Structure 1
Amino acid sequence: MMTDILSVLTAENLLFLLDGLKMTIFYAGSTILLSICLGLILALLRSYSLGFWGKLAAMYIEVLRNTPLILWILGIRFLTPIPPLWSGVVSLTLFETAIIAEIIRGGLGGIPKGQFEAGHSQGFTFLQVLRFIVVPQCFRSIVPALLSQVITIVKDSSFLWAVAIEEFTGKGMILMGRFTSTAQVFTLFALMAAVYFTINFLLSAAVRRQSAKTGRKPTLEDLSAVTA
């Protein structure tokens, strides 16, 4: 059994998995940055626009939130001309943007309307009130929820192996085909689980630390991604 375990934990295999982990970080990092930017736009449109753009934002959010991520991954990969590398970023971003938009919208809903009145009394325009007063307060209040969604995004990136994108899980599945014994397969699964656990545990610790700084304990919603 020890021989089987050591046959998995070779330098070659670990470097192979490390290449996949780098891709996971790339996909998760790109998705997080793009989703926050696009999610902020959608949240603002849905919260403060009653016209066409507000309705369009609401429709986008509801459609994406109520359909499985894997469908978007498959659709973007096989039904569009987007290169495989970027199809993963696009599909994850499309889906996660809707989730993050709702998180931001929740934060915006918690800002008292008096903030707008105070801003207008100082000569600020509506957009200036949003930029300098409302949005900064919103993000301070939703940091724990955003961090928990980051955890979810890291885990969601593992779905990309279903379309042959070689991120961490994809690399693991490739290695899986090289092993035959139960001990080898179990060792590989345990190694992959340990890596995901370490990353997500550190992120969940950041959620708790940030929650402590804001003066409240993490809510079930804040930490939902840890147990999802």
Structure 2
Amino acid sequence: MEFLQSIFTADNVRFLLSGLQTTLLIAVITVTLSLFFGTILGLVRNYNKGIAGRLAAVYIETFRNTPLILWILAIRFLVPIPAFYSGILSLTIFTSAIMAEIVRGGLNAVQKGQFEAAYSQGFGFFQTLTLIVIPQCFKNIVPSLLSQVITVVKDTSFLWAVAIEDFTGKGMILMGRFASSQQVFTLFACMAAVYFIINFTLSGIVRWQNSKNNSGQKPVLAKV
């Protein structure tokens, strides 16, 4: 007990919790921005066959096929903004490409007859997308979106490499203060447990959503 008390003092716990707060804040902002930009990218790539669609495809494939840590380092050292914002920016531009492909999958899952039915009722392309297709798309991709949220939470741990004091960064700072390897590994195990609890909870939501979607209910065409 004394051994644990020497590690998890009140100051150390507050220090770690402040890092956890930073981690969750970065994750929430990243997911929100990435979903917005990813939706735009997915729509452009899926429905624009011109230069805009090609540029969206290049963006998506570039970030999907390169390491996240590369962009974290590049943005941190090449873009003159504070570390906290560079972390959000790097995660957002990377995750937006992943979100775009998730959105594209949801769009392609919407039956093509939805467009024909909407056009027959006098809807334009934009109205059909915003009122009929996109709502169905997001309903289809909820499990995939939640899975990506889990990935984003884990990916924030890379930010300590550029001195951003998130949960992992704070933990690494504390580890440097301990002389005993037993203390270091105990703290490391505690950090891993916190990540596990957060992501296991989110995984439970994903499994629940998947079971709900696979409960045997057939998709109903939107009425227009």
**Is TM > 0.5 for Structure 1 vs Structure 2?**
yes
SS of the aligned residue for 1:38 comes to helix
Gaps of 5+ in 1: 218-228
1:200 is aligned to: 199
CA contact (8 A) 1:69 1:95 kept: yes
Rounded to whole Å, the distance in 2 between the matches of 1:153 and 1:216 is 28
Whether 1:100 aligns to 2:88 is no
Q: How does 1:146-185 map to 2 (within 5 A)?
A: 146-185=145-184
Between 142-151 and 179-188, report the one with greater CA deviation. Answer: 179-188
Whole-angstrom CA distance in 1 between matches of 2:139 and 2:32: 17
SS in 2 for 1:127: helix
Q: 1:147 to 1:159 in 2, by over 3 A?
A: same
Match of 1:71 in 2: 70
> Percent of aligned positions with the same letter in both sequences?
63
Match of 2:21 in 1: 22
Give the TM-score, by structure 1 length: 0.92
**Per-residue deviation at 1:5?**
2.6
1:216 deviates by 5.3
Identify the range of structure 1 (151-160 vs 108-117) with the bigger mean alpha-carbon deviation: 108-117
Aligned residue in 2 for 1:54:
53
Aligned structure 1 segments of 4 or more residues deviating by more than 3 angstroms? none
Are the counterparts in 2 of residues 45 and 53 from structure 1 also a CA contact under 8 Å? yes
1:132 counterpart = 2:134:
no
Asked if 2 retains the 8 angstrom alpha-carbon contact of 1:107 and 1:138, the reply is yes
Deviation at 1:108, TM superposition (A): 0.7
RMSD between superposed Cα atoms in Å: 1.1
Q: Which runs of 5+ in 2 are unaligned?
A: 217-224
Q: Is the 8 A contact 1:4 1:183 kept in 2?
A: no
Q: State the distance in 2 between where 1:176 and 1:64 align.
A: 33
Q: Given the two structures, how large is their TM-score scaled by the length of structure 2? A: 0.94
1:37 alignment partner AA: F
For 1:151, give the aligned amino acid. Answer: I
Separation of aligned partners in 2, 1:25 and 1:120: 43
Task: Give the equivalent residue in structure 2 for 1:224.
Answer: none
Count of paired positions: 216
Deviation at 1:11, TM superposition (A): 1.1
- Deviation for aligned residue 1:111: 1.2
Q: Which residue of 2 aligns with 1:223?
A: none
Tell me by how many angstroms 1:4 deviates. Answer: 3.1
- What one-letter code is carried by the residue in structure 1 that aligns with 2:65? N
What CA deviation, in whole Å up to 9, does each residue of 1:84-109 have, x standing for no partner?
A: 11001100000000011101101111
